Structure 1
């Protein structure tokens, strides 16, 4: 069997892209991405974030894509998340940030929408807003978010409301479609204020964000490395961004 040289393989990969699609990772190094040194690398042809008990991040930090912001887009990638022992029984949490903001450049800290994932797959597929409104849509839910007047007398009162409007499956059904400690596919579609998440082809979140005070229509893409009690490893590959531009 004759092996193709790397240049030919790169050409074939580029040729397989469709109109409006861009490969965000070259499979070789961190070109086009930036994060805290010592935690991110390329291993086995994958973007890899790794912590250990001895080498832990001070707070949630992110590998940030450097080629501008995204607005309306479709992103697909494959991800694998394991605990310190390479399994799914211990700690492991990560996510894909989109339409987000860099709030602490010196440590690559991000706020904004996050397509969540964890080793137990309890939260994988949901929408979480990092350093913002928190959990906005649990796995399997369809929700509409709206702004509401905040009660000035109640310091804990929220200025937004989440209404569950439908379902694509129960949490157990969503979890059952995800392979623990193995490769899975994530797809994120953002069009205006409508956000959708899919894992392995199954819809896991459907959000209409009508909260004018918090909804984001554009921002950066980034990958999370979560602070935890023990180490973990998260890997990403085959990252294809599609836009109308």
Structure 2
């Protein structure tokens, strides 16, 4: 499963066929998948303000009493959709070159969020998550998990001598992707492939210069 595409409804597993043979945890897993898929579809269509437990219940086929009992309300539904997304596996690029790996990561962010079919779901989910403390905490946890995973591209670069020892891989990934999220969710400026590429290149150059190591000295400290 790829980076931001884990936030789209298409990436969540389809509900498993119902069978008469019980499996430990099978129904619970199926119910969660159905509810997450319904939540993603509803938030993409109606946004946070239009999201209701009743609509998710109708779309998922799960009784609203179950939704209130397990998720508490719309904020819990949004938070769990993010948690489920963070649980999805994500194969990282491994080109043998940090800049190219970062370019592939930022290109994926660009491609998913600007895709007219895929983009609305992760955009709506991230926006909805920022509307409550519960959602915001889940959003922070989602990105923290993704950054920890993606840090592997920098760790590989350290191992092959491309980056200084002690480079903080999570900060490298944040530096590469932050300009994209700034445009998407803060400034509203257009996002294009060149911007995504430039953000990756800048992060790679900064990492090679040692700016993400704990011993970095800033000009003010000299």
TM-score by length of 2: 0.30
Q: Which has the higher strand share?
A: 1
TM-score by length of 1: 0.28
